[in-house]
A and B are shown apart, each in its own frame.
Chain A
Amino acid sequence: MNEMFEFRLHGRGGQGIVVAASIFAEAVFLEGFYARAFSLFGAERRGAPVTAFIRVSKDRLMPRSRIYQPDYVVVFDSTITGSTLIAGLKDEGTLLVNGGESWDDNLTGILGPDNRYQIKTVDATQIAWKHKLAIGSFPMVNTVMLGAMGRISGLTSLENLISSIKKRVSASIDANISAVTEGYERVKEVERLVT
C-alpha cells in the first residue's frame, strides 16, 4: 500500500473550504497523485462550522471513510477553537492556522504537553482583505490557505495551484492568484509554546 496524506479542514459555511478542498485535489492530481476531496455537513448555511477532507495517494484505491488521524489539520477560521480541532492529529503532523498575532495566544488553549506536531500560521484574513477578497464583511480566505497548504505539504507547486484556481474559480481571478501566491510565500512556523 502506498503512503497516504490526509488533510482535515475546519472552517465556516461560506468560507469556501469545500471549494478549497476540490482545488487542492485538482492541483495534486496535476502533480500525478490521486486525490479525493469531500465534506461533511448538516444542512449547509453561512457561518456554521464545516469540515472538509482531502486524501492524497499515488494509488487510486483509497478508503472511503472519514479522516480520523490526519497528517494536516487546517483551520480557516480562528474563531473555531477547542480540542476537537486537533483530535487525532498525528504526532509528526502539522497544524496550519489562519492567524495573526492574536491567534498565537489562543494556541495555548488547545495544546497539551504531549503534542509533538508542527504549528504553522498564515495571516490569511489580512491577506484576503488586502486583495479585497470578501463577500460583504466576510473575508474569503480560502485561496490564501490553499497557498499555505501547498507550501507546507510540498504536494503541489504554486503553478498547479494557480492552474486549478483558474479552472475552478470564476470571480476575482487575479486577486485570488495574488492571494494564493502570498499564502504560499508568507506561511511561517510558530515556535513551540510548550515543551
Chain B
Amino acid sequence: MAFELMSGSQAAAVAVQRVGIDLVAAYPITPQTAIVETLANFEAKGELGGEFVSVESEYAALACCYGAAATGARAFTATSSHGLAYMHEIIHWCSGARVPIVMVNVNRTIGAPWSLDPDQGDSLSQRDTGWMQIYCANAQEVFDTVLQAYALAEELLLPCMVVFDGFYISHTYEAIDVAEKEEVRRFIGPPGFEAQVKPGSPGNTHALTTGENQLLLVRNRHETMLRAPAVFEEINKRFSDIMGRSYKIIDYVIPPGAKTVFLAAGSTSETVRWALPKLNNTGLIQLRMFRPFPAGQLRSVLAAHDVEKVIVVDRNCSTGMGGIFAQELRSALYEMENPPQVQDMILAGGVDLTFEMLEKILIPGPDESRTEDKWGVDLK
C-alpha cells in the first residue's frame, strides 16, 4: 500500500482498474468527467485490463453495461445529474434483471437552471429503482467503497450505486492509501456469478410476465436487498483483514450525554465530524448506506443513546415534502416508542455547509421553534 495524492474521481477510477474490470462504458459529464478520463488513460496505456467502450450517451452506457453483466462480466459506468436521469429506464431494468453492475454517481444538481453544485437530488431521485446506494465522505471511502460494492453486488445479484459529492470530493486532491492490484485480488477475485446470456446458446431473457410472477420477483429482490447490511458486515471483515480499514453502514460518534445529533450523508458528514469538538455536546450519525435504508440500526442507535433531537443535513429537497433523508428518517422513527424530534436543514442546490451554519442551527432565535425546518440561506 502506498499513499498517493489524488482526487475523488481519480480514486474511483483507480479502484475500478484495480478490481479487475471486464468492461467500462461511460459518457463524460461534469463533475464526473475525470473518472472517464482516468479510465480512458488506463485503456490508452494498455493498463485497463478490460474493454473500454465509448458510447454516444449515458443511456447507451448503462445498456452496454447491462449487456456485459448479462454474460457474467464485471462492468462499470459513472455519471452525474442529467446523465443519471437520462439512464433512468435502464436503471430500473438492471435491478429487475439482477445484474451486479457498479455505477458511480457524482452528485450534481439537475436543471433547470443549469448548475454544477452538488445537490443530491440526482441519486436520490433513483431511490426506488432497486439499486443499493452507498454515500461516501472522502476519497479514501470512494476507493474502498467501489471495491466493496462489487463484492456486495455480486453476492446479492443486485446493482450498487456508489455516490459522492461533486467538487467537494470529486475535484478535491487528498492523500489516500491506494491498495495494489494483488491486495485487491486477495479481497475480490474474478466475477463468479452466473451468466444469463451465453454466446452460442440462443434464448430469451426477462420475457413478458404477469402481476403475480412480478410480485414474487419484487418480493425476492426486496428481501435480498434487506440482507445487504449483514452481507456487508462479512465483506467488510474480509476487507479490513487485508486493507486494515473498516466501514459501517451507519457510522456514528455520540458523546456521552449528547442529546442532539446531526445526521448527514456524503461530504457534509466530514464537516460535521470535524466540527463536533467545537459544538457543545453534539453527535453525528454518518449515513453511508441509503438503500437498503438502515431503519432498524438507526432506531437502535438513537434509543441506546437517548437522543432527543436529530438535525438532518439534506443537500436535496423533494418539492412538496422536504429533504429526503429527513423523510426517510421520520418514517423509520414512526415505530419507535419515544422517537427523537427531527429537524431538517435543507441545503438543496448543493449549498456549502459551513461551521457557522452548524452553530446557528443549534441555537435557535427567540421566536423560532426548536424543530422548525431550516433552509440553508436562512442560516448564513
Contact = CB atoms under 8 A, between A and B. Distances in A.
Given A34-B175, A42-B116, A22 B270 contact: no
Contacts of A38: 167-168, 171-173
A71 to B, nearest CB: 16
Contact of A36 (B174, B278, B354): B174
A25 B171 CA distance: 13
A63 interface: yes
A128 B277 CA distance: 45
B16 interface: no
A41 B353 CA distance: 18
B270 A64 contact: yes
Interface in B247-304: 267-268, 270-271, 273-275, 277-278
A26 B366 CA distance: 47
A36 B30 contact: no
Nearest to A18: B171
Contact of B30 (A43, A66, A68): A43
Interface in B339-380: 352-355
Contact of B167 (A21, A35, A40, A62): A40
Contact of B273 (A34, A42, A61, A66): A61
A40 B165 CA distance: 13
Contacts of A35: 5, 174-175
Contacts of A26: 5, 173
Interface of B: 3, 5, 30, 116, 137-138, 165, 167-169, 171-175, 267-268, 270-271, 273-275, 277-278, 352-355
Contacts of B172: 36-38, 64
Nearest to B357: A65
Contacts, number: 68
A22 B5 contact: yes
Contacts of A65: 168, 271, 352-355
A25 B271 contact: no
A115 interface: no
A21 B271 contact: no
Contacts of B3: 29
Given A65-B352, A68-B354, A1 B278 contact: yes
Nearest to B266: A64
9 contacts: A22-B173, A26-B173, A36-B172, A36-B174, A38-B172, A38-B173, A64-B169, A65-B271, A66-B352
B104 to A, nearest CB: 18
Given A1-B278, A42-B116, A64 B30 contact: no
A118 interface: no
A64 B5 contact: no
A64 B171 contact: no
A51 B246 CA distance: 35
A25 B275 CA distance: 22
A39 interface: yes
A63 B270 contact: yes
Contacts of A64: 137-138, 165, 168-169, 172, 267-268, 270-271, 274
Contacts of A37: 172-174
Interface in A116-137: none
A69 to B, nearest CB: 10
A26 B167 CA distance: 18
Interface in A53-68: 61-66, 68
Interface in A8-54: 21-22, 25-26, 29, 34-43
A61 B175 contact: no
Contacts of B355: 63, 65
A36 B175 CA distance: 8
A186 B307 CA distance: 57
A39 B171 contact: yes
Contacts of B175: 29, 34-35
Contacts of A22: 5, 173
Contacts of A66: 352, 354
A59 to B, nearest CB: 8
Contacts of B278: 1
A27 to B, nearest CB: 10
Considering the complex of A and B, which 10 residue pairs feature the smallest CB-CB distances, nearest first? Answer: A38-B172, A64-B267, A37-B173, A22-B173, A63-B271, A64-B270, A26-B5, A36-B174, A63-B274, A64-B168
B243 to A, nearest CB: 16
Contacts of B352: 65-66
Contacts of A68: 354
A21 B270 contact: no
B356 to A, nearest CB: 9
User: Which one of B5, B168, B268 has the highest number of Cβ atoms from chain A below 10 Å of its Cβ?
Assistant: B5
A2 to B, nearest CB: 10
A99 to B, nearest CB: 27
Given A25-B5, A29-B3, A37-B172, 7 more contacts: A26-B173, A37-B174, A38-B172, A62-B274, A63-B274, A64-B165, A64-B267
A65 B315 CA distance: 13
